Amino acid sequence: MTRQLELPWKGPSEARGVPRCDEPPTAVRDDGSPGEELLLEAMLERRNMERALRRVEKNRGSPGIDGMTTEDLRPYLHEHWKAIRASLLDQTFRPQAVRLREIPKSSGNGTRRLGIPTVLDRLIQQALAQVLLPRFERSFSAFSYAYRPGRSQHDAVRQALSYVREGRRLAVDIDLESFFDRVNHDVLMGRLAKRIGDRRILRLIRRYLESGLMANGVVTESNRTSIYEMRGELKATQRLLSPEPGGD
């Protein structure tokens, strides 16, 4: 099979003309009033899934606990995507545990835990991030550069240099140690619920948060397991907890 293999992304809802993912549709109640957002359908829309798959394949990376590589993913989806899509829609989909790996810190002081999701979970996370990020992006600080489209650490350095030219002498680098290991999931989900109108998406995020870690063949179920520690594709949403003053 080639990389151009046509995949069965489309479901019955798209055949009936559900809007594309750039304009998430909204359900209509019996009385004609707007109901819950259909963000899950937008996430599963063909163009969004194709974009997510290309991103995961480009990023490559190590396999998760199931051993599946990014090269294996496309053929796997060709055979199993209809069932996976159905399980996402009926909310029976369960993420797999994350493979835990210890890597040396660049400072040389100790190690950092790296969580590696399966390539299928990375695909779902990437597709999810693509529909969620636009609604959070507008509340991010203008001086926030990490994990944002079109921004990088180079932009942060340029901003610091501009302060130097203005005559300022100090730059402070601050990091909250293990913040996303310790963040309260209930508080996090409460913040997300203020902006996400599809409860199915919230349940899916919660399942990723609680998917567990596998180390030495043993899965640890923990409510402290965080998608933000993972090498997953939802890293882009880290800044949602740090809106500009006056935001939500």
Is the whole model's pTM more than 0.95, yes or no? no
- Residue 2 predicted with pLDDT over 90: no
- Residue 98 predicted with pLDDT over 80: yes
Specify the range with the lowest mean pLDDT, choosing from 6-20, 44-58, 103-117, 183-197: 6-20
Strand order across the 111-116 sheet: 111-116, 98-104, 213-215, 218-220
How high is the pLDDT of residue 14? 55
CB within 8 A of 83, min separation 6: which ones? none
The 10s digit of each residue's pLDDT in 208-242 is 988 887 877 766 765 444 444 443 434 444 444 44
Name the pLDDT band for 115 (thresholds 50, 70, 90). Answer: confident
Comparing CA positions, the residue from 235, 189, 239, 234 lying closest to residue 43 is: 234
- Cα(198)–Cα(185) distance, integer angstroms: 18
Tokens representing 222?
Answer: 């923990």
- Cα(79)–Cα(77) distance, integer angstroms: 5
Integer distance in angstroms from the first to the last C-alpha of the chain?
Answer: 47
